């Protein structure tokens, strides 16, 4: 399929965009049937797309577009384990991690179940203090070493779910991702090797940052204990590359497998989620998987016009391709979700930041816009000025949580009031009463989606994250790109290798002038120290 085959539908979508350009969102909201068609509920999450800039006609055209490019058949192929990641010749089966994925091969289900059994046994042993360090003391601190998909999901959920009763008896979890030594120094400061457990997570086991940090952690442990035999009680690994992990020194029983059919940014449901399991316990982790499975079933079974990730993807591509939105702001109105924009940045931008189609041919349309964001209400006193009165075109996702911190109902009511009001201002805008007050004009008409989680429980957040995963897949199909590779990150990794050597004094004369200047400048600074 080539997107040019869909030219007639694209033409009617373009005509709708022109038609809608003269209709303000405040007028679109007068159509109750339209508003109702844009609100959906699932697993304790309420998805409200009514502040998007579509009417029923545009919505119908978008659905027609999804049908014309066989989105349902492509969804079914992914869920059944087709090798849709063509550039790496891999299946895309993160849904198989969410218990009982129908249609997936028996051997995959057996491997997933067996790994989960081992993980849960390990988690129970650590949380119940049966797992002891080399001097016989229980584990108090866990240091998770990993980056990108081997970091962001665990950090997001460990923070988001720290309020659960089951999280109160967990060890402290610390995250180390950056190759900057400040990160690991901060994490290790004040920890005792006797009561610290390290989890090294790397799908490839070749990621530079994780290797450097894992080596530093190992040295830190050995310098303080002098006990090589104790490593087994203090280091666990998660990887697909069992050979490289064994060379690092992990024993078989301390390693948990990953599979190449799980993309890094889709992997929090696997052994990558070990710190989440340690934090919230196995029962709550099962609820997280239940929430994701509810999203999987909804995605697999719902009609396109009722299908939340399909609608989210159609509206996102509409905003990018037809309304010209340059960025997507993810605005979390809950401090516990502070890492959500970072997590979604990787999920959406690494997946869909592409400029060739599924066959490797260059494309001439826009794909994923820049995703950024932060926490409300703080952002209101920083960048919301630009959102309300700047010249950029953007879309926003508001994430609200109905049930807040039980002890502070006034805070929570203000938080919700602000989250709802900001979306209102971005939609309706404001026309000043007096001619001379144009500086107070807020144009509004910015498309936004509001998601309200009933409460911040494992099931709700599991559902929310799986909906975003499926949205990413659907956007990839709509743009005819491969959402599951990330070749663009390789060039920078290669370029850093000679520069690392040149910063130790190797000849840099073959570098381009700008790079040579920066290497010389940094060498000069280090010499001056
Ligand atoms: O460099 C990008 C990337 O490959 C991501 O896709 C991935 O999540 C991250 O690095 C970490 O990779 P790994 O788990 O193999 O260490």
User: Over the stretch 151-201, which tens digit does the pLDDT of each residue have?
Assistant: 999 999 999 999 999 999 899 999 999 999 999 999 999 999 999 999 999
With a threshold of 0.85, does the pTM exceed it? Answer: yes
pLDDT at 6: 81
Q: Which residue has the tokens 């999901």?
A: 153
Which pLDDT tens digit goes with each residue over 475-507?
999 999 999 999 999 999 999 999 999 999 999
Catalytic site residue from 61, 194, 350, 469: 350
Q: Is 381 a catalytic residue?
A: yes
Q: Which residues of the chain fall below pLDDT 70?
A: 1-5, 100-103, 528-529
Query: Is 408:378 a contact under the CB 8 Å cutoff?
Result: no
Q: What is the DSSP letter of 131?
A: S
- Give 264 Cα–ligand 1 centroid separation in angstroms: 6
Buried b (16+ CB within 10 A) or exposed e, 104-142: beeebeeebeebbeebbebbeebbeeebebbeeeebebb
Query: Is 354:387 a contact under the CB 8 Å cutoff?
Result: no
Catalytic site residue from 106, 252, 381, 521: 381
Q: Which residue has the tokens 């989440």?
A: 276
pLDDT at 107: 87
pLDDT at 4: 59
User: Which three-class secondary structure state does DSSP give residue 454?
Assistant: coil
- Give 194 Cα–ligand 1 centroid separation in angstroms: 30
Which residue is closest in CA terms to ligand 1's atom 1? Answer: 489
Q: Which atom of ligand 1 is nearest to the CA of 147?
A: 11
Angle in degrees, 0-180, between the axes of helices 152-160 and 274-301, rounded to the nearest 10: 100
Q: Which helix (H) or strand (E) holds 450?
A: strand 448-453
Which residue is closest in CA terms to ligand 1's atom 10? Answer: 148
DSSP character string of 284-338: HHHHHHHHHHHHHHHHHHS-GGG-HHHHHHHHHHIIIIIS---EEEEEEESGGGT
* Rounded Cα–Cα distance for residues 137 and 134 (Å): 7
pLDDT at 105: 81
């Amino acid at each position: 399929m080539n997107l040019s085959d869909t030219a007639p539908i694209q033409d009617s979508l373009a005509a709708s965009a022109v038609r809608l350009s003269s209709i303000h969102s405040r007028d679109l909201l007068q159509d109750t049937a339209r508003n109702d068609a844009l609100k959906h509920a699932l697993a304790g999450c309420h998805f409200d797309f009514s502040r998007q800039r579509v009417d029923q006609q545009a919505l119908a055209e978008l659905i027609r577009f999804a049908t014309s490019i066989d989105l349902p058949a492509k969804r079914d192929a992914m869920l059944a384990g087709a090798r849709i990641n063509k550039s790496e010749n891999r299946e895309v089966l993160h849904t198989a991690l969410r218990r009982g994925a129908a249609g997936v091969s028996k051997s995959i289900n057996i491997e997933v179940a067996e790994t989960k059994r081992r993980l849960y046994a390990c988690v129970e042993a650590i949380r119940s203090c049966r797992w002891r360090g080399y001097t016989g003391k229980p584990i108090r601190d866990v240091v998770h070493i990993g980056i990108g998909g081997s970091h962001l999901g665990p950090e997001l959920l460990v923070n988001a779910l720290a309020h659960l009763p089951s999280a109160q008896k967990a060890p402290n979890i610390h995250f180390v991702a950056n190759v900057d030594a400040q990160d690991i120094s901060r994490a290790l400061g004040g920890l005792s090797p006797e009561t610290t457990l390290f989890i090294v997570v790397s799908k490839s086991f070749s990621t530079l940052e994780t290797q450097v940090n894992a080596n530093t952690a190992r040295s830190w442990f050995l310098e303080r204990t002098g006990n090589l035999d104790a490593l087994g009680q203090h280091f666990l690994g998660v990887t697909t590359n069992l050979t490289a992990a064994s060379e690092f020194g992990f024993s078989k029983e301390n390693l948990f497998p990953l599979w190449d059919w799980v993309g890094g940014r889709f992997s929090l449901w696997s052994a990558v989620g070990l710190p989440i399991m340690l934090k919230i316990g196995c029962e709550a982790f099962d609820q997280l998987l239940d929430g994701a499975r509810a999203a999987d079933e909804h995605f697999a079974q719902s009609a396109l016009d009722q299908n939340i990730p399909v609608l989210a993807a159609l509206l996102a591509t509409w905003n990018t391709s037809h309304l010209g939105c340059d960025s997507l702001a993810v605005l979390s109105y809950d401090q516990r979700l502070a890492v959500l924009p970072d997590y979604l940045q990787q999920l959406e931008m690494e997946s869909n930041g592409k400029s060739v189609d599924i066959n490797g041919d260059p494309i001439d349309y826009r794909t994923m816009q820049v995703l950024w964001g932060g926490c409300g209400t703080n952002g209101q006193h920083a960048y919301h000025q630009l959102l309300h009165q700047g010249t950029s075109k953007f879309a926003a996702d508001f994430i609200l949580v109905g049930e807040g911190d039980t002890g502070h109902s006034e805070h929570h009511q203000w938080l919700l009031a602000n989250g709802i009001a900001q979306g209102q201002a971005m939609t309706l805008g404001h026309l000043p009463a007096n001619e001379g007050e144009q500086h107070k004009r807020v144009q509004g008409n910015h498309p936004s989606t509001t998601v309200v989680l009933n409460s911040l429980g494992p099931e709700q957040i599991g559902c929310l994250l799986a909906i975003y995963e499926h949205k990413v897949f659907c956007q990839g199909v709509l743009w005819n790109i491969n959402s599951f590779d990330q070749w663009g990150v390789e060039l920078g990794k290669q370029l850093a290798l000679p520069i690392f050597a040149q910063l130790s004094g190797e000849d840099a004369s073959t570098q381009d002038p700008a790079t040579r200047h920066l290497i010389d400048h940094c060498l000069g600074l280090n010499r001056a120290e």
